[in-house]
Chains A and B, each alone.
Chain A
């Protein structure tokens, strides 16, 4: 049986020396970093182990199977292995480990291995409604139609989650921009960016979504596209160029970077409010910290608020730990996703902070779900919600 995708990465699959550096952070803390390896224990479940699994399929040592897809699907795509492992990147085509894992997953899907029913529902919904939640296509069109200022040079790419599920990032963003009197618009016919498909290994199906979104954005002639979800920004900036020649000349940026820039220009101003002192901990979303490489913008913004004290979780910045919502595991294995979330929340509890702040709608939602399961009642909020509280009127 042909293994075209795996053939392309054969050299990279062949050279892992099982050093396991993909599983833990910098010396001397050596913090455990790989969720599936931490949970399931066997070497197979770490970044290197999954490359060996891919190599075994390539060499016909084992057949592509639902069991293989199940193992590969435990990867949360947190990107730690891809960032830390330089060995694999030395070898052509120089892809990071987590992307190789995603290619192995795509190969299995291409070989006709079935995904879960829940995964299939997401896939079908994106195909039909252009969002992963089964919400009708028209609902987003309607939601966006009051924000289509044709003169605006700044576009907010809202993301399916923010428009259709929970508006913890969208609403405060819009309020902040209104207060700062920044002209902005939304995209009228915004489609899913494709991140859920990429998580599940459906790589080629993303091209249609990419080409549509790029064409729509180009037609608006905006100069800047501000993303409210790091998954969306990451796929736009890193994956779209791999699958389409269509290009966006506008600058792509993340919402906290954009707001920070406005604050530095004194366009967004913070109030000297006398609100009580509060201690918050920031969870760096994997996609923001590692895929986009931004570990500073939220911290810089929080520094502008005197009564807010930021405390760090043990695993932070580039060594942040997955919340449990990544890589499609919340769809494919909710119990495991919850286990990861609990691990992370225990770390939050250890900080003694009263609020958990993050900057990704998927992290916010997952922490809500898991903290509810654990019986915790501390607030979990998007960073923009807390920032909005302290912006001058």
Chain B
């Protein structure tokens, strides 16, 4: 794609300023470079402009300018990122949507909210808490946005039951046309229903990473807070037992949400840091995660339940019985406090207060560069994948080896994310891990039929998908013939 920026820079700058005002456009390198890289190993790529629009009409006009000059454009809702998915294309436009931060509608009758992309989880959960409602709580920080996060079909507090919480969208297409999806597409209807009488176009924009348009509104499912909320913790000596347990409590509709945590991960909550002082890291994080350790269970599983008090008492008993049947057991309150106190404090915010304990969640990223490997697969396959991946990472001598895993869609699929934190200066180790992960993906996909959870900045993944990729490419060509929408993300 020809990039006309060099010859037209002043003209483009003036055009953007005329849309959003000079204070909301920057082409200064000291500003643009900070949008050009993140904490992932993805190579830096400096955009030519950063623009802060305030409304959908401004977005429409910016896209028209981008199309006119064939400028690549990368939309950014929160910009919180550890995976390189929001790295712009060199010389292009970053559309930072932070000022589009209005909660437009909280519909407690039909249980949905309509929000703009700049609204953060912390803002939405605070607003919902006032009204006795809650939404999906992700494993990302509170400054991340529900729109950006939900468009990526995330792991989080409702993933056991629903793949994503999005009902409908307002999208500005690359040509500047504005469309709505779901029931919101009907001229007199709200965004109450995702699936109408026609094909589901909402899904087209999910996991598209801004390659098909700019989402300027989303309708998100919300739920009332129930009268009784419980968080039970079970421990297991093997991953297969944990998987059998979560499958059962999820499919029987007992747990609203469950997560399997390995010992290296749940012990990261005990990391203590303070300015200028030596870091305190639990010794277990340096041990082989597979070695038997009677004081630190191999896995703990959090089981979140809510409903009427009478139901919860029964559910808690049933969960205990299922744990026993799966060769595990529920931990007592005292055991939880001895084994897991900092983690429990954090999980209570997540599951009982329904908001994100940001610093508890992100503190561990300070151990080193976060290097994740994530797949989805059938339960029996994920059990094998866990064994192989831990063994492979252990052979490289990596510490810690953290993972968490959870059922999606009532346990039809199991999500598995394994990761470590590597000193960012150790380029060789990072390269070796990168190579290992590639081998692990090959093995997981070919041997076990798993699929990657996220697009991986590599068009070869899409190329393998036969007719699916042909159709998707055709849609892309129709919607975005100049390929201006986030080309750097590398889906197409």
Contacts and interface: CB of A to CB of B under 8 A. Distances in A.
Interface in A89-111: 89-96, 99
A246 B57 CA distance: 62
A43 B76 CA distance: 11
Interface string B65-86: 0000000000000111110000
A61 interface: yes
A305 B129 CA distance: 38
Contact of B276 (A56, A87, A88, A95): A95
Interface string A169-184: 0000000000000000
A53 B33 contact: yes
A90 B273 contact: yes
B366 interface: yes
Contacts of B356: 27
Given A24-B122, A59-B44, A82-B275, A17 B30 contact: no
B34 A41 contact: no
Interface in B346-390: 355-356, 358-359, 362-370
Interface stretch (A63-71, A135-143, A202-210): A63-71
A386 B362 CA distance: 44
Best-surrounded residue of A17, A23, A92 (most CB of chain B within 10 A): A17
A86 B367 CA distance: 11
B82 A17 contact: yes
Given A27-B355, A90-B279, A94-B279, A18 B79 contact: yes
Contact of A24 (B52, B129, B143): B143
Name the interface size band of chain A. Answer: 35 or more
A350 interface: no
Given A11-B423, A29-B126, A71-B30, A89 B39 contact: no
Summarize B's interface: helix, strand, loop or mixed: loop
A16 interface: yes
Interface residues of B, number: 61
B26 interface: yes
A42 B99 CA distance: 10
A99 B275 CA distance: 10
Nearest to A93: B276
Interface in B42-80: 44, 46, 50, 52, 78-80
B362 A17 contact: yes
Nearest to B99: A41
B24 A41 contact: yes
A84 B356 CA distance: 15
Contacts of A20: 78-80, 120, 141, 143
B424 A90 contact: no
A21 interface: yes
A19 B34 contact: no
Given A27-B122, A41-B98, A52-B34, A21 B143 contact: yes
A44 interface: yes
B143 A16 contact: no
A335 to B, nearest CB: 14
A28 B126 contact: yes
Given A20-B143, A90-B279, A91-B366, 20 more contacts: A11-B368, A14-B39, A15-B39, A19-B141, A20-B80, A28-B126, A28-B129, A28-B355, A30-B120, A42-B52, A53-B30, A53-B33, A59-B44, A67-B30, A82-B275, A87-B363, A88-B366, A89-B274, A90-B271, A90-B367
